[in-house]
C-alpha cells in the first residue's frame, strides 16, 4: 500500500486512503487499518522517501564541508521524490488553513522537522566557535535553503533545474556559515581589545620611596665605602 501511495503521488496525485486502497486492490477496511487518515499515509510516504537522508552522518571537522556533503547527498533524493514532498507541504498548508478556520477534524499533524536535527548535526563543529544564540540563528537561516520550500521557490519562480538549485543552495549555505564565523571572530577580537584597554587604564601601584636607610643618589652617607 505504501508503494502504491508513493507511486500515485509521484504521478502528480495527492490520493486519499480510499484511492490507495482501490489502486492497491485491497479493502478500505484494510487500508484504514494501516493508515487511519490521509495525513498518516502521506507522513509514512515522506518518511520512506527521506529514509537514507535521515541516516546521514559525517566525520568531517569542518562545518562548511559537512553542509556541502549534506546538501549534495540530500538534494538528489529530494528531487527524486519531489512530488511526495510537495504533497506533504500541501497537506501541512491545508491543515493550517483548516485549523485557522476551525474545521480541522482530529488527525495527526504532518511532521516536517527533520531538517532541524540534520542541520544541527552538520553544524556540530561550530559549537566551540559560536555561542548558543548564534548557532541557533545559523541553523534557522540554513533551514531556508534546505528543504522542500527552497526548491519550490527556485524551481517554480526562478525555473531552475535540479543542478542549478543545488548550486544556489550550496552558495547560500557557505555564505551563511562564513558570515557567522566572521562575526564570531569580530566579537572575540573586540572583546580582547576591550580587555587590553581596561588593563591599560588600570592604575599602577606607586613605587616605594627611599627608606630611612636609603639616601638620594650622590648624597654622602657618612659611611665608608
Give the helix ranges, DSSP H, for 82-154.
82-101, 114-122, 132-142, 148-152
- Cβ density class 127-163: b for 16+ within 10 Å, e for less: eeebeeebbeebbebbbebbbbebbeebbeeeebebe
Cell of 24: 492497491
Q: Is residue 38's pLDDT more than 80?
A: yes
In this structure, what are the phi and psi dihedrals at residue 196, rounded to the nearest 5 degrees?
A: -65, -40
Q: What is the pLDDT of residue 78?
A: 95
Share of the chain above pLDDT 70, in %: 83
Lowest-confidence pick of 50-54, 71-75, 115-119, 215-219: 215-219
- 92 and 14 in contact (C-beta within 8 Å)? no
DSSP letter for 147, please. Answer: S
Query: Rounded to two decimals, what is the model's pTM?
Result: 0.79
- 9 and 19 in contact (C-beta within 8 Å)? no
Q: Is residue 135's pLDDT more than 60?
A: yes
Give the separation between CA 81 and CA 92, rounded to whole angstroms: 17
**Where residue 93 falls among pLDDT bands split at 50, 70, 90?**
very high
In this structure, how many other beta carbons lie within 10 angstroms of the beta carbon of residue 90?
14
Cell of 63: 562545518
Q: What is the pLDDT of residue 209?
A: 54
- Ranges assigned E (strand) in the chain: none
CA 70 to chain centroid, in Å, comes to 11
Give the separation between CA 77 and CA 37, rounded to whole angstroms: 26
Q: Is residue 210's pLDDT more than 80?
A: no
CA 127 to chain centroid, in Å, comes to 13
Give the separation between CA 24 and CA 34, rounded to whole angstroms: 13
Give the mean pLDDT of 30-35.
93
**Where residue 19 falls among pLDDT bands split at 50, 70, 90?**
very high
Q: What is the pLDDT of residue 208?
A: 59
**Where residue 190 falls among pLDDT bands split at 50, 70, 90?**
low
Query: How far apart are the two ends of the chain, measured CA to CA in Å?
Result: 111
Q: Which residue has the cell 508513493?
A: 6
Contact residues for 90 (Cβ-Cβ < 8 A; gap 6+): 14
Q: Is residue 212's pLDDT more than 70?
A: no
Amino acid at each position: 500500500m505504501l508503494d502504491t501511495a508513493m507511486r500515485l503521488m509521484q504521478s502528480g496525485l495527492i490520493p486519499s486512503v480510499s484511492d490507495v486502497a482501490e489502486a492497491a486492490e485491497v479493502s478500505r477496511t484494510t487500508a484504514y487499518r494501516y493508515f487511519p487518515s490521509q495525513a498518516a499515509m502521506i507522513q509514512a510516504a515522506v518518511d520512506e522517501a527521506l529514509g537514507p537522508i535521515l541516516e546521514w552522518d559525517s566525520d568531517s571537522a569542518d562545518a562548511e564541508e559537512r553542509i556541502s556533503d549534506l546538501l549534495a547527498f540530500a538534494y538528489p533524493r529530494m528531487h527524486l521524490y519531489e512530488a511526495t514532498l510537495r504533497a506533504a507541504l500541501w497537506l501541512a498548508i491545508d491543515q493550517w488553513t483548516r485549523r485557522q478556520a476551525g474545521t480541522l477534524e482530529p488527525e495527526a499533524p504532518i511532521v516536517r522537522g527533520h531538517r532541524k536535527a540534520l542541520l544541527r548535526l552538520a553544524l556540530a563543529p561550530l559549537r566551540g566557535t559560536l555561542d548558543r544564540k548564534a548557532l541557533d540563528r545559523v541553523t534557522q537561516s540554513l533551514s531556508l535553503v534546505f528543504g522542500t520550500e527552497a526548491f519550490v521557490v527556485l524551481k517554480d519562480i526562478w525555473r531552475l533545474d535540479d543542478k542549478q538549485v543545488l548550486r544556489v543552495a550550496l552558495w547560500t549555505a557557505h555564505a551563511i556559515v562564513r558570515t557567522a564565523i566572521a562575526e564570531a571572530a569580530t566579537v572575540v577580537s573586540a572583546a580582547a581589545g576591550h580587555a587590553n584597554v581596561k588593563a591599560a587604564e588600570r592604575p599602577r601601584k606607586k613605587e616605594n620611596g627611599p627608606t630611612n636607610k636609603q639616601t638620594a643618589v650622590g648624597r654622602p652617607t657618612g659611611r665608608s665605602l
